[in-house]
Amino acid sequence: MDIYQISFLISTIWVGPFWIAMLVNPKKEKTKNLLREPLFFVGPIIFWFILMFLNPQGLLDFFKSPSDAAGFLDGLGALLSTKAGVSATWAHMVVGDIFVTRWIWTKCLEIKCNPWVMRSSIFFGVVLMPLGLAIFTIANLLKRSVKD
């Protein structure tokens, strides 16, 4: 197993406890304390920096690509065609997923969301973030329209 596989695995596993806490015990004080600090996303970010440090050429090539759309896409494609690029991109996506999921969880607590909506939004927030965000947004809009 190389550093790229290890970083892929650890980035994925890192967010698990935070996600499970939001999903299983969303209103517990222990969950709130766990998610109060930035620890929930620090691990994958550290791996992103390590991967970029180990393979700076991929990032340099990406930024050197021409400013036209085809050159930009070619540079991005070249970066993503490496283990370092895929692992770094995965860490980036995992951070985005857990960050948005934490935001959904926070908003659900604030507006006293239906438990079904909260859990499904949090579940999909990490598994398929755009769907989790859509569930939360649609449910919130429907809730507001019923009140009016």
Domain spans of the chain? 3-147
Give the pLDDT score at 132. Answer: 96
Whether 72 has a pLDDT exceeding 90, the answer reads no
- The per-residue pLDDT for range 118-139, each reduced to its tens digit, is 999 999 999 999 999 999 999 9
Give the pLDDT score at 12. Answer: 92
Give the pLDDT score at 68. Answer: 61
Backbone dihedral angles phi then psi of residue 113, each to the nearest 5 degrees: -65, 150
Q: What is the pTM of this model?
A: 0.85
Distance CA 115, CA 90 (A): 30
